[in-house]
Amino acid sequence: MRWTTGDRSNIEDARGRGIGMAGVGSVGIGGFLLLAFLSWATGTNFLALLNPSSGSSSSPSSYGSAPPASTSPAEEHQVDFVDAIMRDVQSTWQGILPGKYQPTRAVVFRDAIDSACGMAQSATGPFYCPQDRRVYLDLEFFQELSSRFGAPGEFARAYVIAHEVGHHVQQLMGIEGRTRGDSVPIELQADCFAGVWGHAAAQPGRAARGQVELDPGDVDEGLRAAAAIGDDRLQKMATGRVMPERFTHGTSAQRVEWFRRGLNSGDPQMCNTFTALAH
């Protein structure tokens, strides 16, 4: 991928807030991160097993800037990457929904954060909170996506961020209320919306204008990421069996299919998962 560093106006840096990680010691950091990733990908809060007493929060919707006491060039590079992807994805949606799209930000944190949707412990992975309309991201998730789940590469990471912004688009369009207890159509549509942005990013000449531009092979990275985090694959990794009645995001094949639809068409009208899955 080709992208340029921006001014970080698309993120809120909460890495220096220093909220603790209750319960981590009982399972170790490797096991904790696995539970965290599965919580994000399946919609089941496995982390509640570590801290059952944690509850919801009504924290402020803006975290401002709380830079960490120590960091590394690699981590700062990732923060700049998140900012660049957020900027580009949102610019794409502003063009698709002129006058309707309202910008959001990604809250970048370490270990844990008290969001408007409750406590997010450690590397829970990216999530969207409709209460404050923010995307939340612990950068440790990127390493887990690559090393544990076999989905390396920048476009794999960008796909996940674009998926969460897709939830923001759904919130703005009033789509979220259509779930009726079934989150699979919502999640697959967010995959398709991520693909809509990927279609835009694949157009030649964007890098010369300071926009994100895909390189050959990037699309395959994104498709591998979609396949890596299907409910069927994650359930089998966690329990050794597949439980379709507990699907929350869709199978690997479904996630690849809907992400590909957005990639190929670039048209959000092609992302009507509700009608397609009703048949």
pLDDT (tens digit, 9 = 90+) per residue, 219-268? 999 999 999 989 998 888 888 999 998 898 999 999 999 999 999 999 99
Give the chain's mean pLDDT. Answer: 85
Q: Is 216 exposed, middle or buried (0-12, 13-18, 19+ CB in 10 A)?
A: exposed
Classify residue 158: in a domain, yes or no: yes
Classify residue 196: in a domain, yes or no: yes
User: What pLDDT score was predicted for residue 35?
Assistant: 63
Whole-prediction pTM: 0.82
Classify residue 108: in a domain, yes or no: yes
Map residue 163 onto helix, strand or coil.
Answer: helix
Classify residue 93: in a domain, yes or no: yes
Classify residue 3: in a domain, yes or no: no
**Contact by Cβ (8 Å): 213, 154:** no
Q: How many domains does the chain contain in total?
A: 1
User: What pLDDT score was predicted for residue 41?
Assistant: 65
Classify residue 1: in a domain, yes or no: no
Classify residue 5: in a domain, yes or no: no
User: What pLDDT score was predicted for residue 46?
Assistant: 61
Classify residue 95: in a domain, yes or no: yes
Q: Which residues lie closer than 8 Å to 138 by C-beta, 6 or more apart?
A: 108, 109, 110, 111, 120, 122, 123, 124, 125
In the predicted model, is pLDDT for residue 21 greater than 50?
no
Instruction: Name the residue range of residue 106's domain.
Output: 11-277
User: What pLDDT score was predicted for residue 18?
Assistant: 54
Kindly state the tokens that stand for 47: 């982390």
